[in-house]
Amino acid sequence: MSSSVKWDWSLANEAFPDILKAFLEVTLLVTVAASILSALLGLVWAVALRELPGPLSKVLGWLLGVIRMTPLPLQLLIVTYGIVTPQGWLAHLDGPDQLNHRLMIIGIVVFAVHYSTYMAESYRAGIESLPKGQWEAATALSLPQSRTWRVVIIPQALRATLPSLGNWAIAMFKDTPYLLAIGVIEMVTQARQIGGDHFDYIEVFTIAGLIFLVASYPTAILMRRLEKKLAY
């Protein structure tokens, strides 16, 4: 006979503030910071892929592919235990808050690098979608290369790329529970802890799932609208 799970409003009410707090202080913070960082990095990669000499561009392209094709949790583990821990950056800290803080910074960097490889692809598609005439016109005007990028290519490519970048940011948002791999207490981990304390999980995961849905769905709709609006 199956044991029945009943919805417990008092647990839901008790857990909600803590889950929301973890969402705002960790999940959202990491998502926003990593999104901005990865959008910038992605642009750097996209420009570099075009401007670097052939072999270097190939190597960079391959490196980005390797990062894109390997799991984020593993990348978090490698950076935390292979790079940061040997440097002693995670030792002799003032307390769990500082540790969580530093792990979050690792998370932001790793997420940013991982998703920058996807965003670079989006930028590249945006750049390639520009008519060749734009480059030719810039050459005809003898614009220096850097200025061509800054005032001609990037502004136009950004327009075509923006919804795609937004979509990657949303994807990243839903990947934030991967931070659990290195022990960052983000929203879902927080929810699991509370659930574990009460041996009752349905309320906490429903809350966490709904927060994801409520935050990501409108943003996704916004991106779809933006995409239609920006389409030439």
188 near other proteins, rule: CB under 8 A: yes
107, 181 Cβ separation under 8 angstroms:
no
Nearest-approach distance from CB 56 to other proteins, in angstroms: 21
* N-terminal to C-terminal alpha carbon distance within the chain: 60
**Residue 33 beta carbon to other proteins: minimum distance, rounded to whole angstroms:** 19
Burial letters 189-210, b for 16+ CB under 10 A, else e? bbbbebbeeeebeebbeebbee
Quote the least distance from Cβ 143 to other proteins, whole Å.
25
Compute φ and ψ for 95, nearest 5 degrees: 165, 180
Check residue 128 for interaction with other proteins (CB under 8 A): yes
Among 31, 35, 38, 122, binds other proteins (CB under 8 A): 122
Among 12, 20, 125, 162, binds other proteins (CB under 8 A): 125
Min dist CB 142 to other proteins, Å, is 30
Q: Are 187 and 22 in contact (CB under 8 A)?
A: yes
Nearer to other proteins by C-beta: 66 or 151?
Answer: 66
Binding mask 70-109 for other proteins (x = CB under 8 A): xxxxx--xx--xx--x------------------------
Ranges within 154-183 binding other proteins (CB under 8 A): 163-164, 166-168, 170-171, 174-175, 177-178, 180-181
- Going from the C-alpha of 226 to that of each of 4, 130, 230, the distances in angstroms are 45, 19, 6
The two tokens of residue 49 are 């892929």
Q: How far is the CB of 46 from other proteins (least distance, A)?
A: 11
Cα–Cα distance, 22 to 230 (Å, whole number) = 35
Q: Which residues of 133-147 are buried (b: 16+ CB within 10 A; e: fewer)?
A: eeeeebeeeebeeee
Q: For binding to other proteins (CB under 8 A), which residues are involved?
A: 1-5, 66, 68-74, 77-78, 81-82, 85, 118, 121-122, 124-125, 128-129, 163-164, 166-168, 170-171, 174-175, 177-178, 180-181, 188, 191-192, 195, 200-202, 205, 208-210, 212-213, 216-217, 219-220, 223-224, 227
